Amino acid sequence: MKKYLTYVLAIVFLIFLTSTITFAAGEKLTVWVGGHVVEQEETWKEIIADFTKQTGIDVEYQLIGFEVYYDKLVTAYTAGQGPDVCFADLGGWVPTFAAQGWLEPMDNMLATTKTTEQIWPNLWPTVTYQGKRYGLPWYTDCRLLLYNTKMFTDAGLDPNKPPITWDDLLATAQKLTDESKKIYGYGVTGAKSETATLAYMIYLYGAGGEFLTGDYGKAAFNTPEGLAALKFYAEFFTKYKVSPPGTPSYTEDDYRTMMSQNQVAMAIGGPWSFPLIEMANPKIKGNYTVATHPYKTTPASVLGGWASVIAKTSTQKEAAWKFVDFITSYKVWMKWIEKHGGPMPTRQDVCKDAPAFKTDPKWQIIFETFPHAKVRPPIPQYPQISDQIQTMIQDVLTGKATPEDAIKKAEEEVNKLLAK
Partner 1 sequence: MMDNILDGKLIPEKKTGLWYDLQRNSFAYRSIIPYIIFMLVLVIYPVAQNVLVSFQADNTWSIQNYRDVLSDPLFWVITVNTIIWTVSCVVLDLLVGLGLALLLNQNTKGKMIFRTIILVIPWATPDIVAAVAWKWMYNDMYGVLNDILMKLGIIREYLPWLAVPSLAKAAVIIANLWKGFAISTMFYLAALQTVPKELYEAASMDGANVWQRFTKVTIPVIRPYILTTVMLTIIWTINYFPLIFAMTSGGPSNATDTFVTHSYRMAFRFLDFSHSTVVSNINFIIVLTVAVIYVLSLIRKEG
Applying CB under 8 A, which residues contact partner 1? Answer: 7, 11, 14, 70-71, 74, 96, 100, 182, 190-193, 244-250, 258, 263, 380, 383-384, 387, 390-391, 394-395, 397-398, 400
Cα separation values, 207 from 18, 200, 219, 293, Å: 55, 11, 16, 12
Q: How far is the CB of 311 from partner 1 (least distance, A)?
A: 16
Nearer to partner 1, 53 or 181 (CB): 181
Q: How far is the CB of 220 from partner 1 (least distance, A)?
A: 21
Asked if residues 308 and 139 have their Cβ atoms less than 8 Å apart, the reply is no
Integer Cα distance of 137 and 110 in angstroms: 11
Asked if residues 306 and 89 have their Cβ atoms less than 8 Å apart, the reply is yes
Asked if residues 86 and 38 have their Cβ atoms less than 8 Å apart, the reply is no
Q: How far is the CB of 284 from partner 1 (least distance, A)?
A: 17
Nearer to partner 1, 348 or 384 (CB): 384
Asked if residues 262 and 173 have their Cβ atoms less than 8 Å apart, the reply is no
Q: Which of 87, 51, 138 minimizes the C-alpha distance to 347? A: 138
Integer Cα distance of 259 and 289 in angstroms: 11
Nearer to partner 1, 269 or 380 (CB): 380
Q: How far is the CB of 313 from partner 1 (least distance, A)?
A: 17
